[in-house]
Amino acid sequence: MIPKETRRCGGGSRNNHAKDAASLPRLSFERVKHAAHGRWLAIWADHGITDLPTPGRHGPCPGCGGRDRFRLVPADQDDGGWICGQGGETTGGDGFSLLVHCGLAANPGEALRLVAGWLRLLDENPRAITSDSALRPPGPVVDGLQPESPKTDYARRIWLEAADDAPVWEHHYTIQKRLLKPGWSAGARRGTVSGRVVGRYADCIVVPVRDLATFEVVAAQAINPQGKKQTFGPVKGHAFAIGAAPSPGKHIDPLIPVFVVEGWADAVAMFIDQGGKACVLAGMGLNNLQAVAKAAADAWQPTKITIVEDAL
């Protein structure tokens, strides 16, 4: 039994802890921004903002969807500086405002909470920031994510956290496509994914995109029930593979035909059409088909590769 003296002392200690918690500094934008300095690529990627252009170069906007109106500001990249043309009406800001621009936070206050949570600053004082709604990050939190490799790390986490025993064949997308027989997932998994295109906490088919030389997952594509697709991680020269792919470092059987198609559904349809006696690669986009064919040729030394732009 705990002595009464200890219980009385504990009560006083709780009062002291309450005073200590009350005396902790509130998490201002300045304090959180200082803690996030140089880490914005990782913060954004962990909330689904990936495939950003090289600082200083124009590229697709993760918020408004423009093809070449967005760029990161090199001189301000450690603080998440960005600019978007928005069809002639230029906007921009820091790392917090990009979360708002992409619809991941409704206002700057919610963006502050998201970033503070990612940095574990709320663990020090969970009452330091007040908000009408406490939002959890729209994706898995990856501890120790490094700014130089956020895209691949986040993609791998999406793939690993997707359930490999969930019924992919019962997903609305595959039912609409009449693609899979019960009990067959066709190399995909099913999981909850958040992103600008697929939406928040969407029930998605998760498709692995692999390096053809090592067969490691380097990217992942999520397909929501409406068929909207969002790819996380680098896809140039990488592909989803179904069929008789060789082991890393090995050449493919010369009798196995190799096809390169655009998407996962195309690959599954082509594989079925070939009676399961083929290796089919999906480049996740028409612009990647040639790069995938070259990567397969270099790694596998097949006798022939056929590119099919419209397989479904």
Q: Which of 18-32, 202-216, 234-248, 255-269 has the lowest mean pLDDT?
A: 18-32
Mean pLDDT of 211-239: 92
The pLDDT of residue 150: 54
**pLDDT at residue 236 tops 80:** yes
If we measure between CA atoms, which residue out of 253, 209, 204 comes closest to residue 227? 204
The pLDDT of residue 232: 86
Q: Which of 2-6, 64-68, 228-232 has the lowest mean pLDDT?
A: 2-6
Residue 310, Ramachandran bin (φ over 0: left; ψ between -120 and 50: alpha; else beta): beta
The pLDDT of residue 210: 95
Over the chain, what is the mean pLDDT? 80
Residue 294: CB atoms within 10 A of its CB come to 14
The pLDDT of residue 112: 87
Cα 306 from Cα 259, distance rounded (Å): 5
**pLDDT at residue 274 tops 90:** yes
Would you state the torsion angle of the CA atoms of residues 56, 60, 64, 70, taken in this order, to the nearest 10 degrees?
10
Higher confidence at residue 267 or residue 2? 267
If we measure between CA atoms, which residue out of 292, 191, 192 comes closest to residue 241? 292
Q: What angle do CA 39, 42, 47 make, to 5 degrees?
A: 125
Mean pLDDT of 203-221: 94
pTM of full prediction above 0.75: no
Cα 258 from Cα 37, distance rounded (Å): 46
Cα 262 from Cα 266, distance rounded (Å): 6
* Chain centroid to CA 278: 30
Distances (CA, A) of 211 to 8, 61, 90, 190: 62, 26, 38, 21
The pLDDT of residue 214: 93
The pLDDT of residue 119: 85
Mean pLDDT of 162-175: 91
Quick: pLDDT tens for 99-157.
Answer: 888 877 777 888 888 888 888 887 554 444 433 223 333 333 333 333 334 567 778 88
The pLDDT of residue 249: 87
The pLDDT of residue 86: 66
